[in-house]
Amino acid sequence: MDEEQKRMLGQLLVFGFHGTTATSEIKALICDHYVGNIILFSRNIETPEQLLSLTSDLQKAAKEAGHERPLAICVDQENGTVRRLSTGVTALPGAMLLGATNKRRYASVVGQLTAKELRAVGVNWNLAPVADVNNNPNNLVIGVRSFGEDPGKVGEYAEEMMNGLQAEGVIATLKHFPGHGDTVVDSHHAMPTIPHGLKRLRQVELMPFKACIKAGAEAIMSAHIHFPALETEPVPATMSYKVMTELLRHELGYSGVLMTDCLEMEAIAGTIGTAQGAVAALLAGADMLVVSHSESRQRAAIAALEAAFAEARFDQKRLDMSFQRIDALKAKYLSWDRLPRREELKNVGSTFRQSKANAIYADGVTAFGGRKLSPHQPVLVFYGNVQHRTPAEEKQDEDHPLVEALYKQAAMAKAIAFDADSQNWESCLAEADLYGQIIVATSNIAQAPYQQRFIHALMAKGHKPIIMATQNPYDYRFVPKSLTFVATYEPTEPAVAAALAYLFGQGEANGRFPVSVNEDGR
């Protein structure tokens, strides 16, 4: 490859790195290989001020290296359980909570608020919204990241969020094409299969993407999932010409940027390998190739792509095609004259923005059963550890957010952690006998069934605890229907605070489950 071709190839690459400052390794890739796009994770982020310094440093390296346009810098800021920015910023509701409000305009509001905060810290590209239809309660990777199980509703809410992000100058990305909602395998660990026929795919999985493409979608991320109806061999969609080009480009008429999910996920890295996966994805029709973590794999991917070009596995015309799509997107959103200024940080995480978000949280509270709590009587809360479903979700090092919210709202309250240990239960059950008001906070019971057993142990002693599902509304399937059940959809402080406010008679429960929580499909 000559120098100009290397410059073009660099614009197809989306690389990540470790650390909260720009490393010499990532700067070298930006300078020597013209890498034009960066993906950031929680490992790169501490505070808004630090993040702005980091993104500014990365942009400085790109400008000094002679990049014609600024770097596209992206994060997964879906909100809810998947948010890379979490300290010093506005806490915003995730997709399923938005779906529970039944007010699609909220998705646009959240999109706009998200974009304003991202732009202020130098992030110009969001890997959201999720357009997957979560119609499988056993889905390990999507779950509450989806707006719900109704394809039409998911399409409407995804479109609203996409438009909200783009209206505020941040690139939006629909994911995970052609649909990750009906899987029971996490593609971070292995390759899932969706066995349905084309008719069903068009009626469910593809519908939200089709609606958003019609509305002007500009970036889409592929899924590492095998669709036998489209690809007889066990090839993930990311590396399938039939999916990426024939289906998405030709049948659905999509002309925007198509990026891969991370090529280091086991569905790719554990089969064809990251480097050859990058080549295969490009040949299938991808424009942007994501290698999020390892510098050695990043350099191997560059070498494999350059070798494939030298061997004429793809030509200048194919390189031009992807480069032009990416360049057009960057020309619309990015400019060296529009980089953020430090004074824009003053509104990030402001009281005004959080109050707007809190009103949405309150509208999403969903409840079955009408039992309430008296603020004048002691209340005891038992909470289990947050059971993370997927590596995409943020890990929590601190106490459950419910604890802080509880002590803010109830003068006579106590919170106790419970787990599967029998000795722990003995002391918990003894404590419960001292209280007439009890809440059990659950988190993905299917993954930690000890929570269900603990509820039955309380009931065996004559207690009728209120159940608060702090992450997964499908927990309702495992809870006795005689008990009052409240869903928060995410273990964030504003979400659980809104649910507590309802239980203490200070709010309503206007939310409706956007998925079927009964075992009979209702």
Residue 261 falls in the annotated catalytic set: yes
Query: Residues 63-101: pLDDT tens digits?
Result: 999 999 999 999 999 999 999 999 999 999 999 999 999
What's the order of all strands across the beta sheet hosting 257-259?
A: 174-177, 219-222, 257-259
Q: Which of 186, 261, 363, 475 is catalytic?
A: 261
Query: What's the one-letter identity of residue 136?
Result: N
Please determine, for residue 188, whether its predicted confidence score (pLDDT) is greater than 60: no
Higher-confidence position of 391 and 475:
475
What is the average pLDDT score of the chain?
Answer: 93
Q: How confident is the model at residue 395 (pLDDT cuts 50, 70, 90)?
A: low
pLDDT tens figures, 34-54: 999 999 999 999 999 999 999
Is 422 a residue whose pLDDT tops 90?
no
Return the structure tokens found at 207. 């519908």
pTM of the model as a whole: 0.94
Name the pLDDT band for 390 (thresholds 50, 70, 90): low
CB neighbour list of residue 430: distance below 8 Å, 6 or more residues apart: none
Q: For residue 421, what pLDDT is reported? A: 86
Among residues 413, 401, 477, which one has the least CA distance to residue 439? 413
Give the span between the Cα atoms of 80 and 97, in whole angstroms: 8
Q: Note the pLDDT tens digit of each residue in 256-292.
A: 999 999 999 988 988 899 999 999 999 999 999 999 9
Per-residue confidence band for 230, with pLDDT thresholds at 50, 70 and 90: confident
Secondary structure class of 167 (helix, strand, coil): helix
Confidence of residue 467 (pLDDT cuts 50, 70, 90): very high
Report the pLDDT averaged over residues 474-482.
95
pLDDT at 184 over 60: no
Percent of the chain with pLDDT over 70: 94
Residues 6+ apart with CB under 8 A from 282: 12, 289, 305, 308, 314, 318, 322
Beta strand 37-39 with 72-75: parallel, antiparallel or unpaired?
parallel
Neighbours of 276 (CB within 10 A): 18
pLDDT tops 70 at residue 189: no
pLDDT at 139: 74
Q: By mean pLDDT, which of 120-129, 192-201, 204-213 is the weakest?
A: 192-201
Q: What is the DSSP string of 414-437?
A: EEEE--S-HHHHHHHHHHHTT-S-
Residue 17 CA, chain-centre distance (Å), reads: 19
Least confident piece of the model among 3-7, 30-34, 324-328, 404-408 = 404-408
The pLDDT of residue 1 is 87
Q: With bands split at pLDDT 50, 70 and 90, how would you rate the model's confidence at 521?
A: very low
Q: Is 285 left (phi over 0), alpha (psi -120 to 50) or beta?
A: left
Instruction: Measure the CA–CA gap between 240 and 228, rounded to whole angstroms.
Output: 11
